[in-house]
Structure 1
Amino acid sequence: MGRHTDYWDETVDIVIVGYGFAGAVASIEAHDLGANILLIDKNITPGGISICSAGGVRIAKDRDAALAYLKKTNAGTTPEEPLATLAEGMTRIARFIEDIAEAAGAKPVTNWMGGTYPFEGYDTFGFISIIEYPGVDIYEKYPHVRSLRGGTRLFAALEHNVEARGIPVRLSTAAERLITSPDGAVTGVVLRNSSGTTRVRTLGGVILACGGFEADAKMQAQYWQGKPVLPHAYSGNTGDGIRMAQAVGADLWHMWHYHGTYGMSHPDPAYPYGIRLTKFPDWIPGHDEPKDVPAFFSASQGKRMPWIIVDARGKRFMNEYPPYLQDTGHRDMEVMDPVTQTHLRIPSWLVLDADGLAAGQLGLQTYNDPAQSFIWSEDNSQEVDLGIIQKAETLEELAGIMGVPASSLRQSVELWNNHCAAGEDSDFGRMKESLIPIQKPPFYTTALHPIVGNTQGGPVHDGQQQVLNPFGEVIEGLYTAGELGSVFGHLYISGGNLAECFVGGRTAARQAHCKAAETVQTVKNKSL
Structure 2
Amino acid sequence: MGKMATRRDFVAATGLGVLGLAGGAALGLAGCGSGTSQGNASAQASEVSWDEEYDVIVVGAGLAGLAAAITVATEGDGATCLLLEKSDQPAGGGNSQFSSGSVTYTDDAEAFGSYLKELRGDYTGTPDDILEVFAQRSAELRDWVVGLGADESDMKFTNEDGSKRGEFGELENSESYRYMSFNKKESKSFTHISHFALSVVEAHADVITEKTKAPLTDLVCDAEGAVVGVVYDERGKEMKAKANKGVIMCCGGFENDTVMRQDYLSAPHAHPVAGINNTGDGHRICAKIGADMWHMHSCAGFWTNAVSLDGEKYCAYRKINKQNGITVGINGRRFYMDYDMAVSGWPQSDELVSLEGDVGCRHGHQQFGGEWPLLPLPSVMWFIYDQDHAEDAYTDGTGDPVADGFAVSADSIEELAALIDVPESELTETVALWNSYCEGGKDLSFHRPPSTLNPVANGPFYAMKCCCELLNTDGGPRRNAKAQILDTAGEPIANLYSAGEFGSLWAHLYQGSCNLSECLVFGRLAVQSALGIA
What's the TM-score, normalizing by structure 1? 0.81
Residue of structure 2 aligned with 1:405, choices 406, 423, 430: 423
CA distance, structure 1, for counterparts of residue 315 and residue 274 of structure 2 = 8
C-alpha contact (below 8 Å) 2:182/2:192 kept by paired residues: yes
Partner amino acid, structure 2, of 1:162: V
Match of 1:128 among 169, 180, 199: 180
Q: Pick which of 124-133 and 197-206 moved more.
A: 124-133
Q: How does 1:359-374 map to 2 (within 5 A)?
A: 359=392, 361-362=394-395
1:423–1:435: 8 Å Cα contact kept in structure 2? yes
Q: Which of 490, 508, 520 is 2:508 aligned to?
A: 490
1:20 maps to which of 62, 83, 105: 62
User: What RMSD over aligned residues (CA atoms) do the two structures have, in Å?
Assistant: 2.5
1:393 correspondence with 2:434: no
Give matches, 1:171-210, under 5 Å.
Answer: 171-210=212-251
Tell me which residue corresponds to 2:357: none
Alpha-carbon distance change, 444 to 334 in structure 1, aligned in 2, over 3 angstroms: farther
State the secondary structure of the residue aligned to 2:403.
helix
Distance in 2 (CA, whole Å) between partners of 1:44 and 1:269 is 27
- Pairing of 1:50-61 with structure 2 (within 5 A): 50-61=96-107
- After superposition, give the CA deviation of every residue in 1:320-345 in whole Å (9 maximum; x if it has no partner): 23553262268989878xxxxxx8x2
Once the 2 structures are TM-superposed, how far is the Cα of residue 269 of structure 1 from its aligned partner? Answer: 6.7
Q: Are 1:44 and 2:85 matched, yes or no?
A: no
Task: Evaluate the alpha carbon distance shift between residue 312 and residue 446 of structure 1 in structure 2; reply closer, same or farther with a 3 A threshold.
Answer: same
Residue in structure 2 matched with residue 30 of structure 1 by the alignment: 72
Counting only pairs closer than 5 Å after superposition, residues 219-258 of structure 1 correspond to structure 2 as: 219-258=260-299
In the TM superposition, what are the counterparts of 1:216-365 in structure 2 within 5 Å? 216-260=257-301, 261-266=303-308, 271=313, 275-278=316-319, 305-321=323-339, 323-324=342-343, 325=361, 327-328=363-364, 345-359=378-392, 361-362=394-395
**Alpha carbons 2:101, 2:182 under 8 Å: kept:** yes
Partner of 2:158: 111
Give how far 1:198 is off: 0.7
Q: Which residue identity lines up with residue 158 of structure 2 in the other structure?
A: N
Q: Are the counterparts in 2 of residues 14 and 207 from structure 1 also a CA contact under 8 Å?
A: yes
CA shift for structure 1 position 358: 0.6
Task: Indicate if the aligned counterparts of 1:101 and 1:108 stay in contact, CA closer than 8 A.
Answer: no
Whether the 8 Å CA contact 2:365–2:374 is kept in 1: the answer is no
The whole-number CA distance in structure 2 between the counterparts of 1:312 and 1:279 is 20
User: Within 1, Cα distance between the matches of 2:131 and 2:187?
Assistant: 36
- Which amino acid is the alignment partner of residue 86 of structure 2? K
1:99 and 2:153 equivalent? no
Asked whether the 8 Å contact 2:68–2:526 carries over to 1, the reply is yes
Task: Return the alpha-carbon distance in structure 1 between the equivalents of residues 500 and 517 of structure 2.
Answer: 8
The alignment partner of 2:100 has SS state of coil
Deviation at 1:58, TM superposition (A): 1.1
Say if 2:309 and 2:407, in contact at 8 Å, map to a contact too: no
Q: Is the 8 A contact 2:385 2:462 kept in 1?
A: yes
Answer whether contact 2:45 2:222 (CA < 8 A) is retained.
yes
* Residue aligned with 1:384, SS: coil
Describe the SS at the equivalent of 1:386.
coil
Instruction: Please list the CA deviations of residues 296-337 of structure 1 after superposition, one character each: whole Å capped at 9, or x if unmatched.
Output: xxxxxxxx811211111101011123553262268989878x
Per-residue CA deviations over 1:333-383 (Å, capped at 9, x if unaligned) read 9878xxxxxx8x221111111232212644xxxxxxxxxxxxx32x522x4
Find the aligned partners of 1:464 and 1:334 in 2 and give their Cα distance.
29
The number of residue pairs the alignment matches comes to 455
| Residues 324 and 393, structure 2, Cα contact 8 Å, conserved in 1 | no
Aligned to 2:530: 512
The structure having more radius of gyration, on CA atoms, is 2
Instruction: Pick closer, same or farther for the CA change 1:65–1:134 going to 2, 3 Å.
Output: closer
Find the residue that maps to 1:452 and give its secondary structure: strand
CA distance in 1, matches of 2:97, 2:316: 17
Match of 2:201 among 146, 162, 167: 162
Matched residues in 2 for 1:335 and 1:514: separation? 43
Give SS of 1:396's match: helix
Q: Any unmatched runs of 5+ in structure 1?
A: 139-151, 281-303, 337-342, 363-375, 518-528
1:75 pairs with one of 110, 121, 124: 121
Aligned equivalents of 1:469, 1:450: Cα separation in 2: 33
Q: Normalising by structure 2, what TM-score? A: 0.80
Relative contact order, CA 8 A, sep 6+: which one is greater?
1
**How big is the shift at 1:157?**
1.2
Deviations 1:25-59 (A, max 9, x none): 11111111132001111111133211000111111
